[in-house]
Amino acid sequence: MANKNFSLTVYDSEYMETNNKIYQENMEKKIRTISEFPDKVLLKILSLLPSKDVVATGVLSKRWRSLWKDVKTFRYEGESLSRTYWKFARFINRTSSVESLQLKINPSATNKDIQSLVNMAVARSMRELRIEMICKNFELPKSFYMFSQLETVILDKVSLMDPPPDVHLPCLKRLHLLSVKFSGDESVKFFLSICPILEELVVKRSSLTNVMIFTIDVPTLRILSIDNTSGKSRPKGVHGFTTYRPAVFSFIFLDHLELCLCSAEQWNLLTRILNYAPRLRVLQLKLYHKHCVKDTKNLMGNQPDLIPKSLSSHLEILEWRQYNDTAQEREAAKYILANASGLKKATFYTESTEKHGM
């Protein structure tokens, strides 16, 4: 019996040649369209690509042949050490200027190999450093603290040694510490103290975290994001954050706060920050993790007698993700909405809206 679902399609060589020609013409048209963009736009696009892809654009046309050489952002993404990595290193070594070095890597190379690459970029006036390790933890040596021109540092699964005495990172404005290990609690406090103009701090803790109390004493902050959830494998005793500046406001410039509300401790932290951030304009709350506490009692703790100035006069935007509408969450939301007299926009996302991308 013949199979009714069977289908056979035969393309002759002329048909295939025609389709290839159409495809090539379409690609050439797209390249011509992109090539009409000004150099500034094209360089911005190229800076978002891995360096090996940036180099490959040199074959597109005469203009592209020299354009890629002006890209100052160097990105290497590779799970294993290969000839590509060493070509990347030689490529940086021949470059006169590097603005950003971004590494996503789990090489069989030693820490010394990675450090050599970082040193090359630093010698070429690097202002941004991003290191994301895949599985393997990389210990950033003390020479890192000598990179005084750095403006942005993003570290993921990296260990930081104690800074040597009398050093500063005078230009550092953006700092992301994602699953970063320190030698101890005091090391965190001291590290942040050598960043005199720090404006943006993102902290994410994980099972790799070894700091018990993460002290944030940075009065210059404008943006603060805290994810204190490290999963079920969190080391025993690793739990806390504290904001420290007893006599004055800790965060007089803080404009934007993002906080993961995964425990009663986090809610208490939110209350303290509201008291110490008189200019807070944007508040983003989230509860992303399955193991987050969803039925915590007295989430807002003891509500302060005096309404925080950030609520009464400055808060304009409230965004709450994974809102479950529990009695405790309603109490907290009611308190914020009732006292935020200048609020312009409040958005609540339930779990169902998150799943459907709403």
pLDDT at 128: 93
Beta-bridged to residue 102, according to DSSP, are: 75, 130
Structure tokens at 352: 């169902």
pLDDT at 211: 78
pLDDT at 199: 95
Spatial distance between the Cα atoms of 282 and 263, rounded to a whole number of angstroms: 21
Average pLDDT (145-150) is 88
Between 185 and 255, name the one with better pLDDT. Answer: 255
Name the region of 136 (left: φ>0; alpha: ψ -120 to 50; beta: rest). beta
Contacts of 26 (CB under 8 A, 6+ apart): none
Q: Is the sign of the CA dihedral 307, 313, 314, 318 positive or negative?
A: positive
Contact 156, 207 (CB under 8 A): no
For residue 318, pLDDT beyond 90:
yes
pLDDT per position as a tens digit, 75-104: 887 755 566 677 777 778 777 788 898 888
Structure tokens at 213: 């109390």
Average pLDDT (269-281) is 83
pLDDT at 196: 94
Average pLDDT (189-195) is 92
Between 26 and 113, name the one with better pLDDT. Answer: 113
For residue 319, pLDDT beyond 90:
yes
Alpha carbon 148 to its chain's center:
21
Average pLDDT (302-318) is 72
Q: What percent of the chain has pLDDT over 70?
A: 71
pLDDT at 323: 86
Q: Is the pTM for the entire model greater than 0.85?
A: no
Contact 65, 58 (CB under 8 A): yes
pLDDT at 248: 39
Between 158 and 19, name the one with better pLDDT. Answer: 158
For residue 151, pLDDT beyond 60:
yes
Spatial distance between the Cα atoms of 159 and 137, rounded to a whole number of angstroms: 7
- Which of 167-181, 205-219, 272-286 is the most confident on average? 167-181
Contacts of 241 (CB under 8 A, 6+ apart): 203, 213, 214, 215, 216, 226, 228, 265, 269
Q: 297: burial class by Cβ within 10 Å (0-12, 13-18, 19+)?
A: exposed
